[in-house]
């Protein structure tokens, strides 16, 4: 079994710690309806999903999106997502696996490409805040960019050596961000991308968070 030694875990949120697939699909299909596109099934959305998300939606909607169009897409998506967010649940193994990791004396943090202003109260609502030594979401009001620069700043703010960190997420962008900074990554096939796409990164891919944590040992 592949083993990753780490003293710190950087967790992703949407699709990793939070099981929100049904909410995501409903929000995507609100965008599709507004632009006259037939609704997608989850498997179809997984085939389309990539970052930057603006280019992803251009493929979904089969048209270029100018800045006004993209702002409209982003607003439609997040209005629906916010409306249904309360129906999302924590992923299997949360918070037990995070609590167990903390009890080893090691640390963890959370880095999400969801808006910081919404991320923080949502985490608090699930009673998870105290598990993380730092929580960073996306600043501003328009999303969809790459995670790499945010990961660099996230690690620097905590004075962490990437070699001592493992990033656990659910999309290719998580693996690319980890690779860019020189940190190992474990991907959980529970979110917006197919297992085949995740495996193409070369990162270790598991089905669940408990399975992922079986591969992590304290450094």
- Which token pair is 29? 């299909």
Last residue of a domain, one of 71, 87, 103: 87
Give the tokens for residue 41. Answer: 């099934």
The answer to whether residues 112 and 201 belong to one domain is yes
* 93: exposed, middle or buried (Cβ count in 10 Å: 0-12, 13-18, 19+): middle
The verdict on 72 and 34 lying in the same domain is: yes
pLDDT at 145: 66
Domain end among 87, 109, 140 = 87
Structural domain boundaries enclosing 167: 4-19+88-218
Give pLDDT, residue 168.
98
Statement to judge: residues 69 and 102 lie in one domain: no
Among 82, 101, 107, 112, CA closest to 191? 112
The CATH number of residue 151's host domain is 3.40.50.1000
- Find out whether 147 and 52 touch, Cβ atoms under 8 Å: no
Instruction: Answer yes or no: do 192 and 116 share one domain.
Output: yes
Instruction: Answer yes or no: are the C-beta atoms of 195 and 166 closer than 8 Å.
Output: no
Dig out the tokens for 58 from the structure: 């251009």
Contact 201, 172 (CB under 8 A): yes
Name residue, tokens 């495996």.
Answer: 199
111/212 same-domain check: yes
Distance linking the first and last C-alpha atoms of the chain: 17
pLDDT given for residue 146 in this prediction:
74
> How many domains in the chain?
2
The single-letter DSSP state of residue 128 is -
Last residue of a domain, one of 87, 114, 134: 87
pLDDT in tens, the chain (219 residues): 799 999 999 999 999 999 999 999 999 999 999 999 999 999 999 999 987 889 999 999 999 999 999 999 999 999 999 999 999 999 999 999 999 999 999 999 999 999 899 999 999 999 999 999 999 998 865 555 679 999 999 999 999 999 999 999 999 999 999 999 999 999 999 999 999 999 999 999 999 999 999 999 998
CATH code, domain with 42: 1.10.150
Length of the chain: 219
């Amino acid at each position: 079994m592949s083993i990753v030694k780490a003293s710190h875990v950087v967790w992703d949120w949407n699709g990793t710690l939070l099981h929100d697939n049904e909410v995501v699909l409903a929000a995507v299909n609100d965008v599709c309806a507004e632009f006259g596109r037939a609704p997608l099934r989850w498997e179809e959305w997984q085939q389309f999903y990539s970052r930057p998300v603006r280019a992803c939606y251009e493929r979904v909607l089969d048209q270029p999106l100018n800045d006004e169009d993209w702002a409209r897409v982003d607003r439609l998506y997040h209005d629906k997502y916010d409306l249904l967010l309360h129906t999302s649940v924590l992923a299997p193994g949360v918070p037990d696996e995070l609590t167990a990791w903390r009890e080893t004396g090691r640390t963890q943090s959370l880095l999400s490409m969801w808006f910081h202003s919404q991320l923080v109260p949502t985490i608090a609502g699930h009673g998870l805040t105290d598990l993380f030594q730092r929580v960073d979401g996306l600043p501003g009001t328009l999303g969809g960019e790459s995670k790499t620069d945010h990961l660099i700043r996230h690690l620097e703010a905590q004075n962490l050596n990437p070699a001592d960190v493992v990033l656990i997420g659910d999309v290719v962008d998580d693996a690319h961000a980890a690779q860019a900074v020189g940190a190992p990554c474990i991907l959980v096939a529970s979110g917006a991308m197919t297992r085949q796409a995740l495996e193409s990164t070369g990162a270790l891919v598991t089905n669940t968070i408990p399975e992922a944590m079986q591969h992590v040992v304290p450094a």
